[in-house]
Amino acid sequence: MTEEKNALAQLFAACWKDEALKTRFMADPKAVLKERGMPVPDGMDVKLVENADHCVHITLPAPPAGHTALSDQEMINAAGGTDSVTVQPCASRQPATFCANCTQALPVCSD
């Protein structure tokens, strides 16, 4: 999973530098992911959206199998094992993380 995150981070950085790559990625994410060694399984769709200073997209993960039988803590762990959520980039494009129980920002970068 870490390798996939690193590969995606490298792709995002390349898109920030190369407008043509970004345009292709926005138009056909499956093809660009495949070119970068991250093929998408047949039958799976990929939708790509871009966050902006005034608009942030939050993805709600699909519930795990058997989710109705899980406790609240088990559901939190299945959703990522944290009580915080990433919701908006800061000036350096690093995510700002906010506590799920309040509205205080948690430090994640030096900006």
Whether the CA torsion 99, 104, 107, 108 is positive or negative: it is positive
Neighbours of 95 (CB within 10 A): 15
Give the pLDDT mean for 80-101: 51
Q: Output the furthest CA–CA distance in the chain (Å, rounded).
A: 47
pLDDT of residue 5: 87
> Could you give the 3-state DSSP secondary structure of residue 23?
helix
Domain boundaries, the chain: 1-50, 51-111
| pLDDT (mean) for 13-25 | 97
Tell whether pTM > 0.85.
no
| Closest C-alpha to 96, from 83, 107, 81, 82 | 107
Q: Which residues have C-beta within 8 Å of that of residue 71, sequence separation ≥ 6?
A: none
Residue 111's pLDDT band, with cuts at 50, 70 and 90, is very low
The answer to whether the beta carbons of residues 104 and 87 sit under 8 Å apart is no
Return d(Cα 102, Cα 91) in angstroms, integer. 22
The pLDDT assigned to 109 comes to 44
Tell me what pLDDT residue 68 has. 73
In this structure, what is the dihedral angle of CA atoms 25, 88, 61, 75, given to the nearest 10 degrees? 160
The string of pLDDT tens digits covering residues 47-83 is: 999 999 999 999 988 877 776 776 777 767 766 655 4
